[in-house]
Structure 1
Amino acid sequence: MRTFLFLLITIAFLFGESWMLFIVASIAVFLYLHNFYFRKLGEKFYFDNNKELTRLNVDTEGEWLLTFVNEGYPIVKGALSISFDDCIEPTTYPFIKNRSFIEVNIPFKAWTNEQVEVRIPFLAIKRGVSRIYRLEVKVHHLFGSGAVVLNYNEIIKKKKLVYPLRKFLHNIENKPVLLHGYQETSSSLFYDPMQPIGTREYVNGDSFQHINWKASARMQKLQTKVFPNNGARTWLFVLNISDGHSINRDLEELISFTAYLIEQAVKENIAFAFAINVRTHGDIPYFYLSEGEGKIQRQKAFEMLSMLSFHTFPLPHLFMLKDIEKKDMSFPIIIHVGESAIQTDRILLSFKRKNSTIFKLDTINGQGVMKEWKQYQIEKQA
């Protein structure tokens, strides 16, 4: 274009065509300003990359909130393009699904010294973690001869975490807790003598040292202190995501049933620990959540479950069980989820000999079934 305009200016000057010289010179000035604008476009244009984590359940709504600040030249007739994981889907803007990613294109403009907020509403459709992997603003040249693409090359710190579905389990067996501990239970052989919760009328056989003399004087009858039943009922969830050398094809079902059990543990104020044979880099080479209880513990466990996928690198299940056994940790109840082999069952037998009650969770025709693990299963498999 520059060469062509130079030839026109030369011709207009040689033939003395002032009107042609004026038009061509005007076009040249316009092209110069056009090129200058697109060379400077994007300078002092910022993306607010504040850290953000949103936790969601399946079938709940949320939104991406993207904030831009433009302190440079105005951006007009641009297009914002982003890509993120497909566990969420936009509800307002059209999108393209490319393998496991969602691509969205939105018209974009930002005047000088303007802060622009772009909201992309979405619906959580399945368990998982969604991150933004591509963020760019494209502005086309006025003559369609090209475009300026402004890419954000840093890691975007916004993340959406979709918790797993909770699916009901069948044949859940409840056994009385017979181990000493400090958690309240409905039935136990043990109690906490330091925390009486009331009194009752004295009966033969009550310990003399448990008589409440003040209450007895007030009631004019001997009154015995009542103590809460205490025991150890901590659960250990052991999730095996592998089946042989590959990921278990029923992984989603196993995750949903495990999530249901975690929900039940929280409702009943039961402390639990959690181990998953996913390869990690650290002192503990697999996913491990130490003992805890309550909503914060549930949140941590659900986050672990949300991060699992069929592209996860599993650690040999046997190696994880041996490591837990080596640490000599005691759990009154162990719930094993997923496939097991003769070698792993032998380690479960070792836990059973340490007074642990072991349950095994399997899927049968899409239904979750949990039954007490029996020693004879080793002989049966052998």
Structure 2
Amino acid sequence: MNWHRTIKVIFSMQLLIAAAVLFFISLYQHKPILILLTFLILLVIAIPHLYLKRMSNTLHLENREQQVKLFKDQNDIMTFTLANRSRLPIFSGKMLFSIQDNIMFDDIKQEGGTKKRNQFSFRYNLAGKKKADFSFQVRGLSRGVGRVSGINLTVRDLLGLGTLQMKYDPFFHTEVIVFPELRAVGGLHYLKKFEQGAQPMQFSLFEDLTASIGSRDYAPGDPFNRIHWKASAKSTQLQTKQFEKTTGMEWMFVLHLSRERTDLSNKSDDLERNISSIAYMCKYATARGVPYSIFVNIKVRGRDFIMQLKPGEGRNQLSKALELLARINFNSITVTQEMLFAYVDRVMFRPPVVILFNCGRQEQEVRYYQKWEKKGAALFDVEHNDDASYITKASGKREAVS
């Protein structure tokens, strides 16, 4: 039930008519040779049809989950697995499929395509009762997700008289994820908040009392419970314990995807710059142990309501972030900016560093900015020019633009 199957044998109708004419002529003229010729014509029609009918029920395409993850201009391997469950071999087969145009195969023939998708094909043969992997080099051209669809398998019989066409109906669980490019952002050292936390920092009002880094000479006013008695006994002078300076910091990226129909090409370019900037900042935060989250006003199914990455840190979080950014589509269904902010406000338990992308300064947005600043959040924007991006301070105290 996974396939739409069509079997065609060339000149089958003409050959059937010819066989019928020869059969009636042989009956009237009593020529056995014509009956034998009729039988041969029927075999020419029947054998390819029976062979292709058998192949249509025994040729199997494996549909296991397969994700290929790469950056732009990076290559990796994609594999298709075909199995022939019949004892009869497949002498001549062809597989045709389509994928988004941000993906390219360098070692497969391109058959053409549409505005957003390209078609590729490759030929194969399979011995009886055999399974084979067909692996190809796939290359990412631009950020996005490429999904394989429009799969068609073609099988020909040995004489080339018959053709089996099989169109695959189910969703094919293979996709190629091309991560965004990293666009450097200047001024990231401004993204700080001073509160109790775990991130090491040279100058901070807070300390991690579980991370001792040594001792120093006792000074008037040092707490009595911080005297390092062992060090004092060795040096014969009072010593005070020193602890690592830390601060609390969490970054929250809020990306507003505008669906206004004015100047869409520029909006698409701005979106790519924003996504590339977020990718760079995620990598920067990962290297420094800073947890971060991402919120985008793209509507998704389920309890989360909007596209988001919950707070986390480390390499696993970076991988999730890059995948989420790759999946952002300019034509996705979106929610309003006010709905995005209302959701962010609802989940903002610990005041983070909020980095805003393409977020407006209308009265309803400024109201949220002021509320977040009262909670203790620090607000920043990212601005772009042709060559660079950089951090600027955002403030809920700005007047709304009418």
Tell me the TM-score normalized by structure 2: 0.87
The 2-side partners of 1:117 and 1:178 are apart by 56
CA deviations 1:121-160 (Å, max 9, x no partner) are 1111111111111222112467777631122222211222
Distance 1:156 1:361 in 2: 38
Is the partner of 2:148 in helix, strand or coil?
strand
Identity, % of aligned positions:
21
Aligned counterpart in structure 2 of residue 294 of structure 1, from 303, 314, 325 = 314
1:361: which partner in 2?
382
Q: Which residue in the other structure is 1:11 paired with?
A: 25
Name the CA distance, whole Å, in 2 between partners of 1:279 and 1:336.
18
Secondary structure at the residue paired with 2:190?
coil
Residues 1:271 and 2:271 aligned together: no
- Picking from 50, 58, 65, the partner of 2:72 is 58
CA contact (8 A) 1:50 1:158 kept: yes
- d(CA) in 1 for partners of 2:26, 2:191: 101
- Give the match for residue 54 of structure 2: 40
Inter-partner Cα distance in structure 1 for 2:248 and 2:388: 30
| 1:350 equivalent in alignment to 2:366 | no
1:245–1:204 CA distance, 2 compared to 1 (3 A): farther
Preserved contact between residue 252 and residue 292 of structure 2 (Cα < 8 Å): yes
Aligned to 1:330: 350
Amino acid across the alignment from 1:272: Y
Secondary structure at 1:275's aligned position in 2?
strand
- Label 1:49 to 1:327 Cα distance change in 2 as closer, same or farther (>3 A): closer
Q: Could you say what secondary structure the match of 1:228 adopts?
A: strand
Aligned mates of 1:28, 1:326 — CA distance in 2: 75
User: Which amino acid in 2 is paired with 1:288?
Assistant: Q
Matched, 1:257 2:271: no
**Of 166, 184, 187, which aligns to 1:168?**
184
Conserved in 2, the CA contact under 8 Å of 1:173 and 1:370? no
369 and 244 in structure 1: CA distance in 2 versus 1, 3 angstrom threshold: farther
Matches within 5 A, 1:274-285: 274-285=294-305
250-259 or 366-375, which moves further after superposition?
366-375
Shift in Å, 1:60: 0.9
Tell me the distance in 2 between the aligned counterparts of 1:243 and 1:122. Answer: 32
Structure 2 residue 393 is the aligned partner of structure 1 residue 372: yes
- 1:236 and 2:252 equivalent? yes
Read off the aligned partner of 1:225 and give its amino acid letter: K
Unaligned runs of 5+ in 1: none
Alignment of 1:88-99 (within 5 A): 88-95=103-110, 96-99=112-115
SS in 1 for 2:57: coil
Q: Does the 8 Å CA contact 1:242/1:339 hold for their aligned counterparts?
A: no
Distance change (3 Å), C-alpha of 1:45 and 1:144: closer
Q: CA RMSD in A?
A: 2.3
State how far apart, in whole Å, the 1-side matches of 2:132 and 2:197 are: 57
Give the stretch that moved more between structures: 53-62 or 4-13: 4-13
SS at match of 1:242: coil
Secondary structure of 2:232's counterpart equals helix
| AA at the equivalent of 1:51 | E
Aligned partner of 1:82 in structure 2 is 97
User: Could you tell which deviates more after superposition, 301-310 or 35-44?
Assistant: 35-44
Q: Residues 33-52 of structure 1: CA distance to partner in whole angstroms, max 9, x if unpaired? A: 22222222221222222222
How far, CA to CA, are the matches of 1:368 and 1:273 in structure 2? 20
**Which position in structure 1 is the counterpart of 2:4?**
none
SS of the residue aligned with 2:285?
helix
Give 1:163 shift: 0.9
Report the secondary structure of 1:227's partner residue: strand
Secondary structure at the counterpart of residue 22 of structure 2: helix
Aligned equivalents of 1:90 and 1:67: distance in 2?
Answer: 17
**Alignment size in residue pairs:** 381
How far apart are the structure 2 equivalents of 1:235 and 1:176? 9
Alpha-carbon distance in structure 2 between the residues aligned to 1:294 and 1:321 = 26
Q: Distance in 1 between matches of 2:117 and 2:307?
A: 26
Tell me which amino acid in the other structure corresponds to 1:121: Q
Cα offsets for 1:160-187 (capped at 9, x unmatched):
2111111012344525532222333332
Q: How does 1:129-144 map to 2 (within 5 A)?
A: 129-140=145-156
- Cα gap change, 1:151 to 1:374, in 2 (>3 Å): same
User: How does the TM-score come out when normalised to structure 1?
Assistant: 0.91
Superposed displacement of residue 291, structure 1? 1.4
Residue identity opposite 1:167 in structure 2 = R
C-alpha distance in structure 2 between counterparts of 1:57 and 1:290, whole Å: 23
Match of 2:195 in 1: 179
Instruction: Measure, in 2, the Cα distance between the counterparts of 1:285 and 1:260.
Output: 26
Deviation at 1:16, TM superposition (A): 4.7
- The one of 170, 174, 180 equivalent to 1:154 is 170
Other structure's SS at 1:181 match: coil
Cα distance in 1 for partners of 2:36, 2:217 equals 112
1:224 matched to which residue of 2?
240
Q: Secondary structure at the match of 1:193?
A: strand
Please give the per-residue CA displacement for 1:209-252, whole angstroms capped at 9, x wherever unaligned: 21111122223333221111122111111111116477733111
Moved more, 97-106 or 176-185: 176-185
Residues 297, 307 of structure 2: 8 Å contact kept = yes
